[in-house]
Copies of this chain bind each other. A is one copy, B any other.
Amino acid sequence: MQKKQTATIYDVASRVGVSLATVSRVVNGNSNVRESTKRKVLDAIEALGYHPNAVARGLASKKTTTIGVVMPDVTDMYYSELARGIDDVANMYHYDVLLTNTDEDPVRETMAVNNLASKQVDGIIFMGNELDREILNTIAAVDAPVVLAGSLDEEGILPSVNIDYVAAVKEATELLIRNKHDRVALVTGPMVHAINKHHRLVGYQAGLEAANIAFDDSLLFATHQDYSAGLQVAEKIFAAQATAAVVYDDEVALGIMNYMRDHGKSVPEDFEIITSNDTKFAIVTRPELTSIGQPKYDIGAVAMRMLTKLMNNEVVDDMQVQLPHTFEKRGTTINPQP
């Protein structure tokens, strides 16, 4: 692979007979350049096929027009839809995206953030549940704004974009209770995560309480986020004699649904399910999954938009944004005819 000699700003400057500064100005759309010389510079750029070297530019200007995204797993539908929202508005504002998968491993999350920092990203969007002290500290140490998307820190201090998980889970629970269930299971991730402990569980309990049903922690199930985990936890749910479940992840919900059906329960007649992420998985099965409707793309998009403001030191009125959620009533719940 022979080195293709790429033209530098110097080449175009000398070709036109102006200084570096002038070329730099026209490249950056600076106003103070006479129309005629601008014309000539542009021609030279065209002729030489000059492309500004972003690395040099980054060093000189201390801006890389690159943001970092750290997420658990691109392969997870929920997060990849957030990522898409992020990427689209990042592009809109001419930022590139440096992507890192962490599998929610705190060590890798910390490394990722530090690595992004040393790459001098202008900002970071962080997704992941495990926001422990150490990560919070390394985030605090980073000289670039960070916003959480679809994630929450314990203190609720970092800029973030989410839905109102408490309300959403409460409503889901209530809906199931209204359908005559008194043993509604809650399936979430590990209780060490703020989002589960302080939001989903709280919403669930609020729903119970509103209906005067005593909280029974044998109806609480923690899994990790995939289909086979759903299959596994379903067995326990079955054993616990629950007749309905609020589930935090679509793949897990699918696992539960399939297990139930494989074991002679029909869904929704014998067992009702409400899932939470409303990804493509929810509408691709029969029955389709009833779900809390999350504006996933928008969560990503809004988070990224917020980040652009932070990077420009613009004022952001609301640092903890809650986007509205909906309910998508489909086939895993018994829905009253309108």
CB distance from A63 to the nearest CB of B (A): 10
Q: Which of A73, A120, A145 has the most CB of B within 10 A?
A: A120
Q: Is A40 positioned at the interface, with any CB of B under 8 Å from its CB?
A: no
Q: Which of B51, B81, B120, B258 has a CB less than 8 Å from the CB of A54?
A: B120
Interface string of A246-282 (1 = CB under 8 A from B): 0000010010001001000000000000000000110
Q: Is the CB of B98 within 8 A of A66?
A: yes
A81-140 interface with B by 8 A CB criterion: 81, 83-84, 87-88, 91, 96-101, 114-115, 117-120
Interface string of A32-45 (1 = CB under 8 A from B): 00000000000000
Stretch at the interface among A162-170, A215-223, A283-291, A320-328: A283-291
Q: Which of B6, B75, B114, B118 has a CB less than 8 Å from the CB of A80?
A: B75
Interface string of A47-83 (1 = CB under 8 A from B): 0000111111011000010100000011101001101
Q: Is A143 positioned at the interface, with any CB of B under 8 Å from its CB?
A: yes
Q: Is A3 positioned at the interface, with any CB of B under 8 Å from its CB?
A: yes
Across the two chains, which residue of chain B brings its CB closest to A279?
B75
Q: Is A238 positioned at the interface, with any CB of B under 8 Å from its CB?
A: no
Q: Which residues of B contact A118 (CB under 8 A)?
A: 51-54
Q: Is A1 positioned at the interface, with any CB of B under 8 Å from its CB?
A: yes
Q: Is A31 positioned at the interface, with any CB of B under 8 Å from its CB?
A: no
A: interface residue count bin: 35 or more
Q: Is the CB of B98 within 8 A of A251?
A: no
CB distance from A71 to the nearest CB of B (A): 10
Q: Is A141 positioned at the interface, with any CB of B under 8 Å from its CB?
A: yes
Q: Which residues of B contact A83 (CB under 8 A)?
A: 74-75
Q: Is A4 positioned at the interface, with any CB of B under 8 Å from its CB?
A: yes
Q: Is the CB of A227 within 8 A of B75?
A: no
Q: Which of A117, A251, A280 has the most CB of B within 10 A?
A: A280
Across the two chains, which residue of chain B brings its CB closest to A87?
B101
Q: Is A28 positioned at the interface, with any CB of B under 8 Å from its CB?
A: no
Bound CA–CA A6/B118 (angstroms): 10
Across the two chains, which residue of chain B brings its CB closest to A118?
B51
Bound CA–CA A169/B258 (angstroms): 30
Q: Which residues of B contact A99 (CB under 8 A)?
A: 87, 97-99
Bound CA–CA A146/B97 (angstroms): 19
Across the two chains, which residue of chain B brings its CB closest to A56?
B59
Bound CA–CA A58/B99 (angstroms): 19
Q: Is the CB of A254 within 8 A of B55?
A: no
Q: Is the CB of A4 within 8 A of B143?
A: yes
Q: Is A212 positioned at the interface, with any CB of B under 8 Å from its CB?
A: no
Q: Is the CB of B283 within 8 A of A281?
A: no
Bound CA–CA A51/B117 (angstroms): 9
Q: Which residues of B contact A3 (CB under 8 A)?
A: 143
Supply 10 further A-B pairs (C-beta < 8 A) apart from A258-B286, A284-B285. Answer: A51-B117, A52-B118, A53-B120, A87-B99, A96-B100, A97-B100, A98-B99, A227-B280, A227-B283, A261-B286
Residues of chain A at the chain B interface (Cβ within 8 Å): 1, 3-4, 6, 51-56, 58-59, 64, 66, 73-75, 77, 80-81, 83-84, 87-88, 91, 96-101, 114-115, 117-120, 141, 143, 145, 227, 251, 254, 258, 261, 280-281, 283-286, 310, 313
